[in-house]
Amino acid sequence: MRLLASLSLWALVLSVQAADWTLLTTSTDLKKVTYWYVDNSSVVSHSKLIKAQLRTAWSQMQFGPDNTGYLSTTYISYVDCNKRLLAYTANTYFSDFESTSEPVHQEPELPLTELNFAPPRAGTPGEMRINYLCKSYDGASNNSI
């Protein structure tokens, strides 16, 4: 009976944490396509910042400095909509495209005071993320960081 209750609780936790990935854009390089996603269920706001879980995936294996292969990464992004600045932290690298395998490498989440906020170049996926998340700002106002 305990096992059944434990499994039911675990299923509830997983359903609450289920990601809602939306594809924002893809690269135009047909030899190595890059896909950029946002998890709509993760978008929260506080004051002028928006925090969201993002994912980047590639059609071909990427390799880190230690030659570890990965096909996708998830990371936390902070967006300052007024200043149109982005910062990233907590990168997690996966060997599969969907970011569901065991991580092959993880970087810790840094505090906001240690993040490097920077403007994205015009027309880049970074700018598209800002546009998407800042447009969603009103919808995220019920959630807070």
> Is 11 inside any structural domain?
no
pLDDT confidence of residue 9:
36
pTM of the full structure: 0.80
- 58/60 Cα distance (integer angstroms): 5
- The CATH number linked to 121 is 2.40.128.710
> Is 92 inside any structural domain?
yes
> Is 24 inside any structural domain?
yes
Give residue-wise pLDDT tens across range 74-95.
Answer: 999 999 999 999 999 999 999 9
The number of distinct structural domains making up the chain is 1
pLDDT confidence of residue 143:
52
Q: Which residue has the higher pLDDT, 10 or 128?
A: 128
H-state helical runs in 20-68: none
Range of the domain at 133: 19-140
Percentage, residues of the chain above pLDDT 90? 72
Phi, psi for residue 103 in degrees, rounded to 5: -60, 145
Give residue-wise pLDDT tens across range 9-36.
Answer: 333 333 346 899 999 999 988 889 999 9
